[in-house]
Amino acid sequence: MTMKRTQCAVVVGAGNGTGAEVAKLLAREGYSVTLARRSADAMAPLVAEIESSGGAALAVGADASDEEQVAMLFDQAERHFGAPRIVVFNAAGFAKGSIRETSSADFEESW
């Protein structure tokens, strides 16, 4: 049985952990999912997994810290699947080390 997909979700930060699991959950719930991370190629296995389960997914390479790339991401999502109903921001960065070892520049960068 094919599920009718009428709504779009966007997952920014669709890496191998939380972002991927949220994307798969949304796809199982009937959403067409636009996935974003810096490398579209890195999301190929996730797209294949979602599509092999009957879902619809689009991978878009976009840096969440770049306003123009984020605008392009949402343009592509809307062109392919319609206006997003759900947006998940899961993009993350981190500085390795304890809080005492973290410089103020690294702390600021994480924001």
**Does a structural domain hold residue 34?**
yes
**Does a structural domain hold residue 2?**
no
- For the domain that residue 95 is a member of, what is the CATH number? 3.40.50.720
Residues 6+ apart with CB under 8 A from 31: 5, 7, 8, 9, 85, 86
Q: Are 81 and 58 in contact (CB under 8 A)?
A: yes
**Does a structural domain hold residue 1?**
no
Which residue has tokens 């999502």?
77
**Does a structural domain hold residue 78?**
yes
- The total of structural domains in the chain comes to 1
- Report the alpha-carbon distance of residue 45 to residue 42 in Å, rounded: 7
The confidence band for 97, taking pLDDT boundaries of 50, 70 and 90, is: confident
**Does a structural domain hold residue 64?**
yes
The domain of 94 spans 7-110
Which residue has tokens 């921001």?
89
pLDDT in tens, 10-50: 999 998 899 999 999 999 999 999 999 999 999 999 999 99
**Does a structural domain hold residue 17?**
yes
**Does a structural domain hold residue 99?**
yes
**Interval 95-100 mean pLDDT:** 74
**Does a structural domain hold residue 96?**
yes
